[in-house]
Homo-oligomer: A and B are copies of this chain.
């Protein structure tokens, strides 16, 4: 649809695994498109929490989602787990752009790819601020 090639496992830097749930599948017997974003969101936040070593929700600046998208190449669904590969495309002054590849089973080609844009805002005033240094240190190793 977009002309971008279908991503493969080698495109990603770090990996997580998520279990699937019966309720993930909609009436068509595959994972509902909204559910993918629960996984995409988790892949990013788990990495940040582990790399920062604390509760990122308590930092003075929090990452809010400015834009997110997903391209779907092949059906996935309950009951097998999903492998999630994470790579950072861009680190700006106040935003980070991630791509998250979702895989189910052994194939090398992604079943779906999410693109996720975090913008950092002050936890109280909600105005846009610079990426906290702890976050910058956590995402820099995810560039390729």
Contact = CB atoms under 8 A, between A and B. Distances in A.
Interface in A12-50: 17-23, 25-29, 32-42, 45-46, 49
Contact of A68 (B57, B69, B78): B69
Interface residues of A, number: 44
Contacts of A26: 22-23, 25-27
Contacts of A17: 19
Contacts of A27: 25-29, 57
A124 interface: no
Nearest to A67: B71
A65 interface: yes
Given A1-B117, A38-B34, A41-B34, A72 B79 contact: no
B68 A33 contact: yes
A59 interface: no
A51 interface: no
Interface in A50-77: 57, 62, 64-72
28 contacts: A1-B95, A2-B67, A17-B19, A18-B19, A18-B21, A19-B19, A21-B38, A22-B26, A22-B32, A22-B46, A23-B32, A23-B38, A23-B41, A27-B27, A27-B57, A28-B57, A28-B64, A29-B57, A33-B41, A33-B65, A33-B68, A34-B37, A42-B78, A67-B69, A67-B71, A68-B72, A69-B69, A69-B70
